[in-house]
């Protein structure tokens, strides 16, 4: 979707200004936000792609004025309500009013190191051979879905060159909406800066994205 998260090429937001010697967390509540979000994700009720889409659906004015972990918590509230773990009334009052859905799994403290070390691999086998190979010229699709996608607006309807076939992975556009993993080949595609940004692009600039196969058409 063309939400507030998709900021590439947008004007008026100022330069990217990384914080020098930035700490992992700016307050104890951020630690809790991370812990609660990961613990709830372990329930097994939603995928990482659904959680990303929940963040993308935060209203733009709220999203753009929120901090990183505030965005996480606002999206988590949506997911917990959607899947029946809490109600809006319970969130407003800050306490349980009735029994909610039962999680498939519960992440306990002694399990955390192993679970984090394992991660959540999303590579999957695909029977068909890759449609494109390194050096192929491709054009990205020009679409504006209201659903989740990993193809940013600035890279749509652009011609680039396949640099690498990365492997086959879960297709997030389907996985975010309960349509299954639908794995596809993923390619690193390199675009000339002028193709992306037009006149005034810095000489020699290139932009690379990882693109699922269904985002691409041959040129």
182: its two tokens = 């639908």
Q: Describe the strand order of the beta sheet including 216-218 as a list of residue ranges.
A: 206-212, 184-192, 159-169, 137-140, 216-218
CA atoms within 13 A on the CB side of 26: 7
Residue ranges and CATH numbers for the domains of the chain are: 28-118 (1.10.472.20), 137-218 (2.30.30.50)
Q: Which residues pair with 167 in a beta bridge?
A: 186
How far is it, in rounded angstroms, from Cα 51 to Cα 35? 15
What 3-state DSSP class applies to 73? helix
Find out whether 213 and 171 touch, Cβ atoms under 8 Å: no
Query: What is the predicted pLDDT for the residue at 101?
Result: 97
Find out whether 45 and 104 touch, Cβ atoms under 8 Å: yes
Query: What is the predicted pLDDT for the residue at 174?
Result: 98
Cβ-based neighbours of 156, under 8 Å, separated by 6 or more: 140, 141, 142, 143
Query: What is the predicted pLDDT for the residue at 8?
Result: 87
pLDDT tens-digit profile, the chain (219 residues): 899 999 888 888 888 889 999 999 999 999 999 999 999 999 999 999 999 999 999 999 999 999 999 999 999 999 999 999 999 999 999 999 999 999 999 999 999 999 999 999 999 999 999 999 999 999 999 999 999 999 999 999 999 999 999 999 999 999 999 999 999 999 999 999 999 999 989 999 999 999 999 999 999
pTM of the model: 0.92
Cβ-based neighbours of 136, under 8 Å, separated by 6 or more: 161, 162, 218
């Amino acid at each position: 979707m063309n939400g507030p998260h998709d900021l590439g090429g947008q004007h008026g937001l100022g330069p990217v200004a990384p914080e020098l010697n930035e700490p992992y967390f700016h307050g104890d509540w951020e630690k809790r936000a991370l812990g609660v979000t990961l613990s709830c994700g372990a329930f097994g009720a939603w995928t990482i792609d659904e959680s990303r889409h929940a963040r993308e659906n935060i209203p733009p004015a709220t999203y753009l004025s929120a901090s990183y972990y505030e965005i996480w918590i606002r999206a988590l509230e949506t997911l917990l309500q959607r899947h029946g773990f809490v109600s809006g009334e319970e969130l407003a009052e800050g306490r349980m009013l009735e029994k909610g859905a039962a999680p498939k799994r519960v992440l306990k403290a002694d399990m955390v190191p192993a679970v984090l070390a394992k991660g959540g691999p999303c590579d999957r086998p695909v029977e068909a051979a890759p449609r494109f190979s390194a050096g192929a010229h491709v054009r990205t699709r020009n679409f504006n879905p209201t659903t989740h996608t990993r193809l940013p607006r600035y890279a749509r309807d652009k011609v680039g060159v396949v640099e690498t076939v990365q492997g086959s992975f879960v297709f997030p556009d389907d996985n975010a909406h309960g349509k299954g993993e639908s794995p596809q080949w993923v390619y690193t595609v390199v675009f000339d800066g002028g193709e992306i940004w037009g006149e005034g692009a810095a000489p020699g600039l290139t932009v690379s994205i990882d693109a699922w196969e269904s985002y691409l058409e041959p040129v």
